[in-house]
Amino acid sequence: MAFIDYYSVLGIDKSATEADIKKAYRKQARKYHPDVNPDDKNAEQKFTEVNEANEVLSDPEKRKKYDKYGKDWKHADQFEQAGGGAGRQQRGQGNPGAGFGGEGFGGADYSDFFESMFGGAGGGFRQGGRSTKFKGQDFNAQLELDIHDAYTTHKKVLTVNGENIRLTIAAGTEDGQTIKIKGKGSSGINGGPNGDLYIKFVIKNNTKFTREGHNLYSTVEVDLYTALLGGDIIADTFDGKVKLKVAPETQNGTKVRLKRKGFPVYKKEGEFGDLTLTYSIKNPTNLSAEEKKLFEELQKLR
């Protein structure tokens, strides 16, 4: 598996603080964001690497393992468990410096030793007569979608670690939802299974509709005269317009629910949530003298 230096990806050094990492991540994410670099496969791959680097380095525990084991940080726990026994055995043979810490490798780093121990060029760690297999590292990626894209089922091609991955994005996908693509992470160690790819969706909503699950909410203006006397209005839904009948003496804040005019229900073809519209009564402005007089007469009658 090719080694990716997460510090270089973010443009920082190993002494960087949490604040430095956060600042660097924001800078690099803006630079390589798909919206800024449409149809740029190289930028898309860089954006994935930036998110992967941030996920590891912004987590103190993961960062500690990464600093110690490099590309094999995902297997740190297994490595230390296996290494502890071997280290005690070597110390029992009168070589106190030959454990699994620091300089006991004669200059080799942990990553090199790990490869030789678990199936690299130097042989393989064997347990019960069989080589121990380890699952490859999982990858994490973030995919930004416009809310209109999340409204319909469609296909998309992602490039992750140099590989094109075809996705079918189901209508109704929610903000923050994560899916797993099995076997699309890094290669397994010593014949172990590949890691998995986890994709988190970020849904951008620049519409007048508020989304909560598969239900939508919006506000519709109704002029004062229609609210008082009743009548028809045209209102927007997510996929078109509808004519609504407003009852006489409708009050400000009245809510109307339109069934099946909301968002698609995830992976339930043909099912939709509801759209709730709240009426906002709009008072007339720039009244003429005659209009004011009529309102004053109406006020006296009331």
What would the pLDDT profile of 24-44 be if each residue is shown by its tens digit? 998 988 888 877 888 888 888
Domain 139-204's class?
mainly beta
Same fold, 139-204 and 210-301: yes
Per-domain boundaries in the chain: 6-131, 139-204, 210-301
What CATH topology corresponds to 6-131? Helix Hairpins (1.10.287)
User: Tens digit of pLDDT per residue, the chain (302 long)?
Assistant: 456 789 988 999 999 999 999 999 989 888 888 778 888 888 888 888 888 889 899 999 899 888 887 777 777 777 666 554 444 433 333 333 333 333 333 334 444 444 444 444 333 444 444 567 888 888 888 899 999 999 999 999 888 777 888 999 999 999 999 999 999 988 888 888 999 999 999 999 999 999 999 999 999 999 999 999 999 999 999 999 999 999 999 999 999 999 999 999 999 999 999 999 999 999 999 999 998 999 899 889 88
With beta carbons less than 8 A apart as the criterion, state whether 74 and 114 touch. Answer: no
List of residues 6+ apart from 172 with CB closer than 8 A? 150, 214, 263, 264, 265, 266, 267, 268
pTM: predicted TM-score of the whole model, two decimal places:
0.58
Look up the CATH superfamily of 210-301: Urease metallochaperone UreE, N-terminal domain (2.60.260.20)
